Amino acid sequence: MPSGLLIGLLLQALAMLPAPAAAADRPAAASPANHPALQRFVLPAISTSAKEHASYFPRLLQLALDKTVASDGPYELAYYGRELTSLRRNTELKNNGVINVMWDGTDRRREAELLPVRISLIKELNDYRVFLIRSEDAPRFAAVRTLDELRRLKAGAGANWPSTEVLRFNGLPVETSSGYEYLFPMLRVKRFDYMPRGVQEAWAELELHPDEGLQVESTIFLHYRVPFYFFVSRSRPELAARIERGLRLAQKDGSFDRLFNSIPAFRQGMAEIAARRRRVFELTLP
């Protein structure tokens, strides 16, 4: 076939091909806007000496976030590298610092500064307080029959704990410490007489301080409502909304209760409340 005829046929064939689609007709290329952004949650460090119940809160957060991957997209959990005091956690969260989520008991000041997710993470456990005391003082506490009699003794607590304000508001003397770990030696050397702890905390903490002459007091409950919540910065409501959706889904399908009941300290605390063996002193919230 002559070369001129071949070239002519090729040009004719090319002319019969459909024109390229206009930009508006082409399918959009995949872009980050078409996919949910990765949400990063940075948690406070957990003490290496903490008992199993301390890991419950990150596990519960992970459970809630897993429930919302389909609706909210992927996420990443990370821990800040150093332990923070309660006051420092508050400050960092408020100022969008090194963490963006934490868990703690609530109070009016904390809720004014931070955004709570209003689902109680440990049910009613944090509403009941038992005492860590020196074993030699057990008869002294067994003889306490009224709140007025308890006011003759001094409690020990963290300087920035919500419970400290509650104790003082109810006329209970309190010796404070800037650090949780300092309270145990302060109790041993009689800087104060008792250390109120959540019913889910006391026995586990006692195990961390064996052979120090301490015990859980067996006759008294302090009762006041202090729910344990997740908190985020007020500038990050989308994090709170996602956590709340996930927690409610976990409550609905039973996985919240299964995780809660897997913690021996929580089961022990609920059993202690249900036994109703103790005198209950009701405290008023500020």
Tens digits of pLDDT across the chain (286 residues): 444 433 343 334 434 434 433 333 333 333 344 557 899 999 999 875 555 677 899 999 999 999 999 999 999 999 999 988 888 999 999 999 999 999 998 988 899 999 999 999 999 999 999 999 999 999 999 999 999 999 999 999 998 888 899 999 999 999 999 888 899 999 999 999 999 999 999 999 999 999 999 999 999 999 999 899 999 999 999 999 999 999 999 999 999 999 999 999 999 999 999 999 999 999 999 8
Position 176 in a domain: yes
Domain boundary among 194, 223, 252: 223
Does residue 21 form part of some domain? no
CATH of the domain at 213: 3.40.190.10
Give the total number of structural domains in the chain: 2
Instruction: Give yes or no: residues 105 and 233 share one domain.
Output: yes
Residue 24 in domain:
no
Q: What domain range is 80 assigned to?
A: 36-122+228-263
- Order the strands of the 102-105 sheet from edge to edge: 102-105, 228-233, 114-117
Q: Is 146 in the same domain as 79? A: no
Query: Does residue 63 lie within any of the structural domains?
Result: yes
Q: Are residues 111 and 153 in the same domain?
A: no
71 within a domain of the structure (yes/no)? yes
30 domain residue, yes or no: no
Q: Does 272 map to a domain?
A: no
* Contact by Cβ (8 Å): 278, 221: yes
Q: What is the pTM of this model?
A: 0.79
The answer on 170 and 214 residing in a single domain is yes
